[in-house]
């Protein structure tokens, strides 16, 4: 599952969003949901929170992901997980997209 900080879903369910979240939600067309049905509502909206563009979300080559997550776990970051992958767009059918796999 996509890990979220404690209290994050509670805030979104109460209508408390970052000031940039509405601008980021425009990117919804670039996200392909192949995740469990529990990734809806507040949890789905959190994927577009601008704070995840920093240290909470990183993009690395797929071949390095398993070792990177293991290193993070060994360093005490036990919530670290692979949550998606960037896929190439089909020529003429749109841009690259993020596929949520967790």
CA distances from 80 to 16, 66, 72 (A): 25, 11, 7
pLDDT, tens digit, for every residue of 42-66?
777 787 777 755 456 788 898 999 9
Q: What's the domain count of the chain?
A: 1
pLDDT digits (tens, 9 = 90+) for 79-91: 888 888 877 765 5
CA 63/CA 18 separation, integer angstroms: 33
Residue 36 has pLDDT above 50, yes or no: no
Q: How far apart are CA 81 and CA 78, in angstroms?
A: 8
| pLDDT tens-digit readout, 4-19 | 778 888 988 898 888 8
Q: Per the domain annotation, does 2 fall within a domain?
A: no
Parent domain of 43: 8-100
Q: What are the percentages of helix, strand and coil residues in the chain, rounded to 5?
A: 40, 10, 50
């Amino acid at each position: 599952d996509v890990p979220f900080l404690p209290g994050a879903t509670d805030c979104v369910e109460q209508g408390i969003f970052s000031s940039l979240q509405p601008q980021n939600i425009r990117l919804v067309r670039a996200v392909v949901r192949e995740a469990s049905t529990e990734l809806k509502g507040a949890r789905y909206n959190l994927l577009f929170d601008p704070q995840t563009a920093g240290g909470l979300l990183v993009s690395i080559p797929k071949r390095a992901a398993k070792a990177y997550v293991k290193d993070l776990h060994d360093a005490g970051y036990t919530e670290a997980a692979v949550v998606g992958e960037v896929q190439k767009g089909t020529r003429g059918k749109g841009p690259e997209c993020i596929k949520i796999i967790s």
